[in-house]
Amino acid sequence: MSTSTVSTSSGSTTVAKRSALAPLGKPFAAAAGVLAIVAALLPWVTFTLNDGNWPDKSTLQFFDAPFAVTGFRWHVLLIGVLILVATFAPVPSKGRVVRALGWGLTVVAFVNAAYITVKGGGLGAITAVEGATAFGAVVGLVAGVLAILAGYGIGIGPVGEWNFKVSTPVAYLVLLVSFGAVLYAVAAMLTTGGVGSANPYAGAIFLSFLGFAGGLIGALSGVGFVRWLSALSEQHRVFSVIVLAACALLLPFTDAGNEYWMTVAANIGIYAATAIGLNIVVGLAGLLDLGYVAFMGIGALVAANFSGAATAHFGIHLPFPVAAAAAAIVAGIFGAIVGSPTLRVRGDYLAIVTLAFGEIFTRSAQNNIGGITNGSNAIPGIPPLSLFGTEFNKSISIGAVKLPAGVLYYVLIVLLVAGTMAVFANLKFSRIGRAWIAIREDEDAARAMGIRTGKMKILAFLIGATLAGLAGAVFAHKNGTVSYESFKFLESVTLLAAVILGGMGSIPGAVLGAALLFVLPEKLRDFEDYRLMIFGLALILIMRFRPVGLIPDAHRRAEMAERADENAEEAHVEAKKA
């Protein structure tokens, strides 16, 4: 249709931009680096805000104490140095690196400037107050924008390729260090800005840190390091999985090891496990499910009813493994039922059928169907799990180290996520997984190749729902209350967004997506009201600018690249015609 014309125009504009900026690339980058370093040493605010001092010695004067730089100023300084390094050292795909660092810097500067301006009351905080001038934020923003422009000027080439081989011990060391760095980054990300609302600037500190981390990761992936590392971990898969699991289990020993963050991490884990299940249905088999959270709800309700809670409908108390198995089986059966229309319905109509099933679940649960959901009263008082007499919500100590409350739940959920990941990975690389991907790509062709498409599609729904039911059973015990309100349409959309944000069909993607979507609201209490609005906007923007997600599945990435090439070619041909 008209997309060819659209891509033509966008193609020509980028070309024009590149040619105009090309000679300015290096000087801009150098200037940006220097300005960033200067910004780090300039004062960012000259007075105390109403909620207390702006964090990290932001009133520091130029060169008063350059060694005392911490927090976001330290990040800005580091980015500045890195931009300079990238400009003058022979770095692969220089344009991408500088652009990513520029975006990181812009976000850091913008977040800090915006918070200071809003909380400090007008621009007075940044410009002159009582004779003292705080230009840090302005200089930082200018440096960031310059760096982005410089990136385009240098040219956005292909991602760097690292082809050198390393011996196994070195590879192990690299993986160990990298995953250790990931653990450190996760712990830092959770603890920056303190717990919840204790620090009035928690949201700003966190966003700023996110910008910094995003810039660094973007630069690393531009250089080609991320791709190389993922290839390396693919090569040594077993070792990577062990190290990754160990890292996850070490989280309670880091700064993030307190009750609050254990609870948040456990909740993220539950949703991550559910998102991985959804990823089977959406990412592998390509069936859009808009009522997926209902299966989690079914699992939670089954587990709650067999938990021995006072308000449960059946007076039976089953041991947790049995109840969890029952939850998974019941959810799986419902999954197969909901999936059965796939035999006749395809594409977006199927999405609407799943949405209808989800709404029927919500309505029925709300109206206490059969007396098993307790409607809006919920099922409270579900007893916590216990093992050898230790309740999971109490703190435990191993030797001299006292671990925070909730750590056992965290461990259980790490195991749950690891198990779900193992199921997903094994299925993906099996005959069944290949059949799903074939169906996703072209159902008729898959059928012609002898794949029993109907059976396979129902199987996708069944397995996805089973995993969600299992996650739901853990959810019921972890939270102690099960109410239909936790399983509404919006939750389904959130899970879907987690899968898409992370990258459809990719395992780390689903975990990352769930983590981002469930950590951000914890961190951004200031924006609680705007949470869903930003979330809707994010869905639109992702589909527009990065439909493959943050960590795309290799297969899907190749597919999208092909498509992009085709578009580019088409645009080229049209441009010639014109």
Partner 1 sequence: MSVLLQQLANGVMQGALIALIALGYTMVYGIIQLINFAHGEVFMVASYGGLATFTLLPDDLKKSPAVALPLMFVGGIVVAVVVAVIMERFAYRPLRNAPRLAPLITALGVSVFLQEAVRVFYPNAKSNLPYPNVFPEGNLSLGPVNISWTGVLLVVLSVGLAVILQTYINRSRMGRAMRATAQDPDTAKLMGVNPDRVIVLTFILGAVLAGVAGILYGGFLGNINIDMGFQNGIFAFTAAVLGGVGSIRGAVIGAFIIGLIKTLAGQYMPGGTQYDYVWIFVVLILVLVFRPQGLFGEPERVRA
Site for partner 1, rule CB under 8 A:
1-3, 6, 286, 288, 290, 341, 344-345, 347-349, 351-353, 355-357, 359-360, 363-364, 367, 489-490, 493, 496, 500, 529-530, 532-533, 535-540, 543-544, 547
**For partner 1, which is the closer residue by CB, 12 or 70?**
12
Q: What is the DSSP letter of 314?
A: S
Shortest gap between Cβ of 486 and partner 1 (angstroms)? 18
**For partner 1, which is the closer residue by CB, 130 or 529?**
529
Q: What is the DSSP letter of 443?
A: H
**For partner 1, which is the closer residue by CB, 544 or 576?**
544
CA distance 406 to 409: 5
**For partner 1, which is the closer residue by CB, 429 or 530?**
530
37-66 core/surface letters (b: 16 or more CB in 10 A; e: else)? bbbbbbbbbbeebeeeebbbbbbbeeeeee
**For partner 1, which is the closer residue by CB, 537 or 568?**
537
User: In DSSP terms, which residues pair with 387 in a beta bridge?
Assistant: 390
> Would the CA dihedral through 409, 422, 191, 210 be positive or negative?
negative
CA distance 226 to 445: 35
Which helix (H) or strand (E) segment holds residue 569: the answer is: helix 554-577
For residue 351, CA distances in Å to 143, 177, 501, 504 come to: 46, 43, 19, 16
User: In DSSP terms, which residues pair with 54 in a beta bridge?
Assistant: none
Closest C-alpha to 312, from 376, 371, 391: 371
Neighbouring C-beta atoms of residue 532, cutoff 10 Å: 13
Shortest gap between Cβ of 456 and partner 1 (angstroms)? 18
**For partner 1, which is the closer residue by CB, 524 or 539?**
539
Shortest gap between Cβ of 3 and partner 1 (angstroms)? 4
Shortest gap between Cβ of 443 and partner 1 (angstroms)? 12
Shortest gap between Cβ of 167 and partner 1 (angstroms)? 42
Which helix (H) or strand (E) segment holds residue 153: the answer is: helix 136-154
Mutual angle of helices 71-88 and 202-223, in 10-degree steps? 20
87-114 core/surface letters (b: 16 or more CB in 10 A; e: else)? beeebbbbbbbbbbbbbbbbbbbbbbbe
**For partner 1, which is the closer residue by CB, 217 or 356?**
356
Q: Longest Cα pair distance anywhere in the chain, in angstroms? A: 79
Shortest gap between Cβ of 54 and partner 1 (angstroms)? 27
**For partner 1, which is the closer residue by CB, 40 or 510?**
510
Shortest gap between Cβ of 359 and partner 1 (angstroms)? 5
**For partner 1, which is the closer residue by CB, 66 or 536?**
536
Shortest gap between Cβ of 12 and partner 1 (angstroms)? 16
Shortest gap between Cβ of 230 and partner 1 (angstroms)? 24
DSSP states of 198-231: SSTTHHHHHHHHHHHHHHHHHHHHHHTHHHHHHH
Here the tokens at position 88 are 């003058």
Shortest gap between Cβ of 269 and partner 1 (angstroms)? 25
Shortest gap between Cβ of 20 and partner 1 (angstroms)? 24
**For partner 1, which is the closer residue by CB, 172 or 489?**
489
Catalogue the long-range contacts made by 65-73 (C-beta closer than 8 Å, 24 or more residues apart). Answer: 66/41, 69/40, 69/41, 71/205, 72/108, 72/112, 72/205, 72/208, 72/209, 72/212, 73/40, 73/41, 73/44, 73/136
Which helix (H) or strand (E) segment holds residue 139: the answer is: helix 136-154
Chain Cα centroid distance, residue 456:
29
User: Which stretches of 165-310 are DSSP H helices?
Assistant: 168-191, 202-223, 225-235, 237-250, 259-279, 293-305
**For partner 1, which is the closer residue by CB, 265 or 282?**
282
Shortest gap between Cβ of 532 and partner 1 (angstroms)? 4
**For partner 1, which is the closer residue by CB, 45 or 350?**
350
